[in-house]
Amino acid sequence: MNVATTHWFVRTAILALAVMGPSRESQAGTAIVSAQLDYAAAPGCPTSDAFQAIVSGRLGYGPFRADAPDRVIVRIEPTGRTIEGQLEWEDATGKSIGEQLFPSRTGDCAELARAMGFALALEIQLMAASAGEDRSPSPGQPPIGIVPANKPPPPPPIVPAPAAQIQSAGSEASDTNAHPRGPSLLIGAGAAAGLGLSSDPAALGRLFVTLAWSHFAVELAGEVSLPSTTHFADGTGFSQEQFLAGLAGCGVRGAFSACAVGKAGELRVVGQGVDVPLTASGPMVQAGLRLAASHTFGHGTYITAHLEGLGRLAQGTVTLDSMPVWTTPRFAALFGIDIALRLK
């Protein structure tokens, strides 16, 4: 937690104590605040009722009413390899009067929802105290909206960092300060079908490790193709397989990514039906682009579909009985599906 956040947290704690204090004067000067709730969250996150219970439990009353003039918009959505929350306030005319983002370091949606509920409850308390300075509700008067009609809307306070950074007991605050938010580590496996890798369509399998930030990722992968055999009318033929190591740098935007890909390894060919069957190998170097789209399951499992276009930096020719029978194409294309698990 930096110095500015620490100072804000101290000021907020003092204001919160003032709002919740037991004195009759402070209670008499505190308005009851209500608002409509527009809540939507990713699968596996707390429901709208659960989120309302978090806020109501902090306040001691239910602040959400369908007929309230103002509206609070709560969103929790996947972003890249993790999730992100957003709070936005709208007045009775639909005008936005403040918003705040809640990036999650751990990807735990329940933890993020608790942090957002706490922050929302604290904002409502501060706005209630501000509104109560101007007017207190008379007996039988319905609760007022988030912002009193006769006063310009106060700017929403800066929301504290999510619970991943503000620990409930403060036990890890020093650790967060010492270790800034780092990348997520993912491991995964995938399968792909390719054209231009051999004389026939080829199937490949791969294993990979990825370091992912909010908008950037680096991947290290190993690939191997299943043997692909080509037969000729005279009974001769050859089989081939490839072994590659790959490196990719990706730009990430939500569930989508675009990557620059480089691969290097070996193409191995075995002759069949010839007088002297030999095994030959040669280097293979490829470079190209990958487009991918991901979907999140639960809190740490991802399935990704990707399409690659690759160009060979060097071509080779397969010969049988000193006769050239196949030349590696200049370009290749792959379509694959990956499954990845986030470790941290």
CB contact at 8 A, 32 and 61: yes
pLDDT tens digit at each of 344 positions of the chain: 443 433 444 444 444 444 444 444 444 455 678 889 999 988 888 999 999 999 999 888 889 999 988 899 999 988 777 788 999 988 888 888 888 888 887 778 888 899 899 988 888 888 888 766 554 444 444 444 444 434 444 545 544 444 444 343 343 333 333 334 568 899 999 999 988 877 778 899 999 999 988 889 999 999 998 887 777 777 777 778 889 999 999 999 888 999 999 999 888 877 776 555 556 777 889 999 999 998 887 667 889 999 999 998 876 776 666 666 677 788 999 999 999 998 86
Helix axes 48-59, 109-134, angle to 10 degrees: 50
Q: Which residues of 147-179 are buried (b: 16+ CB within 10 A; e: fewer)?
A: bbeeeebbebbebbbbbbbbeeeeeeeeebeee
Say if pTM beats, i.e. exceeds, 0.75.
no
User: Contact, 202 vs 334, CB < 8 A?
Assistant: no
Of 166, 165, 244, 248, residue with least CA distance to 212:
248
64: helix, strand or coil: strand
- What domains sit in the chain, N to C, each tagged with a CATH number? 3-178 (no CATH), 184-342 (2.40.160.20)
* φ, ψ for residue 175, nearest 5 deg: -70, -40
